[in-house]
Structure 1
Amino acid sequence: MKKRRLGQSDLMVSEVGLGCMSIGTNIPTAKKVIEEAIDLGINYLDTADLYDQGVNEEIIGELIMDKRQDLILATKAGNRFEKGKDGWTWDPSKSHIKKAIKDSLQRLKTDYIDLYQLHGGTIDDPIDETIEAFEELKQEGLIREYGLSSIRPNVIKEYVKRSSIVSIMMQYSLLDRRPEEWFPLLGQHDVSVVVRGAVAKGILTSRPFSTLASKIQANGYLSYTANELKQVREQLADYHTLSINELALNYVLSSNVIASVVTGASRKEQVKENVQAIRADLLPAHILDELKQITKKDIYEQHR
């Protein structure tokens, strides 16, 4: 599988990454998913300390021990939780981040994280303190690089300006093109985008509309009504020889600012389908332009 550079770093990540939140807590099943991903050339695994209150990290740590040196391992911090208790609180403080990394390293059975990400962020955070924490972790060799997982423009702009982040994880798809407004800024500063949500909660797949979440069937998705979603799906299905899923994944990878599209999978068959879908060279400029005509280009209204 092709790899792309993450920002200005030395990290080369596979165009498809594995979003590990979906692998579940059944270890034999999770093992099949992770092994399939690695066998198919995926080297980028993305998790977070919050997923299953650390259990996700524990499972990954157990399953990749003998392959650790070949993988780009990403996790996240910033959400303080107490194991066994519901909910979490936002805590981007230096003290929390420096404790959270130790816990994650222990669960992941490794002595370094390739990409450590702030799992959110607000403009009211002590941003300089947060950046200082990540910079110190980098100097200490506990992380190789750090990034941000956020869709808030005001937060993104501050980190691009004030930190040495190499990536931003953002929800981005044919149905959520809001990040495109910020691609020129990110490209100018050599900050890569790691994509999540590329198939828009299953809308951009061949799944029957009636099997999608009831909330989507009733209220639509973002600025799209349910009827608009049905129309877009029909247009995409009739548009090209590629499937909707193939169009969706290749579209988000068409920009040079994108480093990897992280796809979730609870079965190994889903991993294979996503990997086989990536053929970005099949979407020349005129097709990309036509896909943009079919879909909306909204912008973020809040947190600007």
Structure 2
Amino acid sequence: MQTKKLGELEVSALGLGCMGMSEFYSGRDEQESLRTIDRALELGITFLDTANSYGLGQNEELIGRAIKGRRDKVILATKFGNVRAEDGSYAGVNGSPEYVKQACDASLRRLNVDYIDLYYQHRVDPNTPIEETIGAMAELLREGKIRYLGLSEAAPATIRRAHNVHPISALQTEYSLWSREVEDEILPLCRELGIGFVPYSPLGRGFLTGQIKQFEDLAKDDYRRNSPRFQGENFRKNLDLVNKIEVMAKDKNCKPAQLALAWLLAQGDDIVPIPGTKQRAYLEENISVFNVVLTDSDLLRINEIAPKGIASGTRYPEAQMRVLNQ
């Protein structure tokens, strides 16, 4: 497995997003999830991504069980900021220093570890100056509870202000063939400041894999049913894009998911995607991306197939869109 740097933090060139093991997607199986994490570590994927809000903390507990006895083999990333009520409902964003410290201690307990390698603010709290939030995170670092600081879905001005308080190692924001907005300002700024970039949903929440052919393919409890890009006319238009990706993937003798990941990896040595899966079969498929070689002409063809702004519909429903890019 190749490695890359997120700031000064060295990680495997591909990470594993663990969210779906505990929530949002149907067909969850804890034992298969644990086996998937085991297999990821065997294959050299050591960069595991979770958050305190996934499954109301259950995802962190799952990862804690998975890595017990081999903490030194893992680069562990988790997040705070998205607050959930006991019934699972969304309760807003909190970046207050008090909450930052409480959330970190709770995550350490659930993960059953002494420190977190990369600690992200999941969403920026508009009611707390970013300087105060980052200041609290820097205190956690000095106490040895975290090693590196990260942000997620932050606006360029916020990233710069945060970095002025303490170096930010990684920015995690959605980036894929159907979400390329970060190329305008955010990615250039990260490169100016030496901040690594971690694309989440690099496979468009599974759409870019070619496995979803109709809305009814989504289980009744699948949160993607509420996503504008999976609904109505948007679905049909986005399926046209996927069909073109499938044709090119066939030409390259690879899977659509591998083509989409290979394109992301080709965007720079500071890009570390974290495709999520809860099954070993898809993990094996994703890691085979390193067998896919894209030529300059391949990249030009992909840009023609999936230019910036190609996706139909917003990334999230309106209420969730309002907390992005803060």
TM-score by length of 1: 0.89
Q: CA deviation at 1:104?
A: 0.8
1:231 corresponds in structure 2 to 240
Q: Tell me the distance in 1 between the aligned counterparts of 2:232 and 2:158.
A: 29
Deviation string, structure 1 residues 153-196 (Cα, Å, up to 9, x no partner): 44334334543111000100011111111222211111011111
Q: Tell me the distance in 2 between the aligned counterparts of 1:95 and 1:164.
A: 21
SS at match of 2:242: helix
Native 8 Å contact 1:151 1:171 kept in 2: no
1:106 corresponds in structure 2 to 109
- Find the partner of 2:304 among 258, 268, 293: 293
Deviation string, structure 1 residues 84-139 (Cα, Å, up to 9, x no partner): 56433311011110111111111111110000000111455311110101111111
Q: Tell me the distance in 1 between the aligned counterparts of 2:303 and 2:127.
A: 35
Native 8 Å contact 1:198 1:248 kept in 2: yes
Q: Tell me the distance in 2 between the aligned counterparts of 1:219 and 1:258.
A: 36
2:4 corresponds in structure 1 to 4
- Find the partner of 1:54 among 46, 53, 57: 57
1:271 corresponds in structure 2 to 283
Judging changes above 3 Å, is the alpha-carbon distance between structure 1 residues 68 and 92 closer, same or farther for their aligned structure 2 residues? Answer: same
Native 8 Å contact 1:178 1:298 kept in 2: yes
Native 8 Å contact 1:14 1:44 kept in 2: yes
Native 8 Å contact 1:169 1:195 kept in 2: yes
SS at match of 1:65: coil
Native 8 Å contact 1:50 1:79 kept in 2: yes
Question: Are residue 137 (structure 1) and residue 140 (structure 2) matched?
Answer: yes
Native 8 Å contact 2:124 2:154 kept in 1: no
For residue 128 of structure 1, what is the amino acid of its counterpart? E
Question: Are residue 38 (structure 1) and residue 41 (structure 2) matched?
Answer: yes
Q: CA deviation at 1:227?
A: 3.8
Q: CA deviation at 1:230?
A: 2.8
- Find the partner of 1:283 among 287, 294, 308: 294
Map residues 9-24 of structure 1 onto 2, 5 A cutoff.
9=8, 11-24=9-22
SS at match of 1:49: coil
Which ranges in structure 2 are unaligned for 5 or more consecutive residues? 23-27, 219-223, 315-320
1:63 corresponds in structure 2 to 66
RMSD of aligned Cα (Å) = 2.5
SS at match of 2:262: helix
For residue 278 of structure 2, what is the amino acid of its counterpart? S
1:205 corresponds in structure 2 to 209
Which ranges in structure 1 are unaligned for 5 or more consecutive residues? none
Judging changes above 3 Å, is the alpha-carbon distance between structure 1 residues 136 and 151 closer, same or farther for their aligned structure 2 residues? Answer: closer
Flag as ranges the 4+ runs of structure 1 deviating above 6 A: 299-302
Q: CA deviation at 1:244?
A: 1.5
TM-score by length of 2: 0.83
Map residues 58-97 of structure 1 onto 2, 5 A cutoff.
58-83=61-86, 86-97=89-100
Q: Tell me the distance in 2 between the aligned counterparts of 1:238 and 1:81.
A: 41
**Larger deviation, residues 84-93 vs 191-200:** 84-93
Deviation string, structure 1 residues 1-20 (Cα, Å, up to 9, x no partner): 1110111x1x2111221111
Q: Tell me the distance in 1 between the aligned counterparts of 2:207 and 2:91.
A: 29
For residue 4 of structure 1, what is the amino acid of its counterpart? K
Native 8 Å contact 1:186 1:257 kept in 2: no
Native 8 Å contact 2:81 2:125 kept in 1: no
Q: CA deviation at 1:283?
A: 1.2
Map residues 158-197 of structure 1 onto 2, 5 A cutoff.
158-181=161-184, 182-197=186-201
Q: Tell me the distance in 2 between the aligned counterparts of 1:219 and 1:151.
A: 30
For residue 3 of structure 2, what is the amino acid of its counterpart? K
- Find the partner of 2:258 among 241, 246, 249: 246
For residue 102 of structure 2, what is the amino acid of its counterpart? K
Deviation string, structure 1 residues 29-59 (Cα, Å, up to 9, x no partner): 2211111111111100111111111111112
Judging changes above 3 Å, is the alpha-carbon distance between structure 1 residues 290 and 161 closer, same or farther for their aligned structure 2 residues? Answer: farther
For residue 191 of structure 2, what is the amino acid of its counterpart? G
For residue 228 of structure 1, what is the amino acid of its counterpart? K
Q: Tell me the distance in 2 between the aligned counterparts of 1:36 and 1:197.
A: 21
Judging changes above 3 Å, is the alpha-carbon distance between structure 1 residues 139 and 127 closer, same or farther for their aligned structure 2 residues? Answer: same
For residue 197 of structure 1, what is the amino acid of its counterpart? S
1:255 corresponds in structure 2 to 267
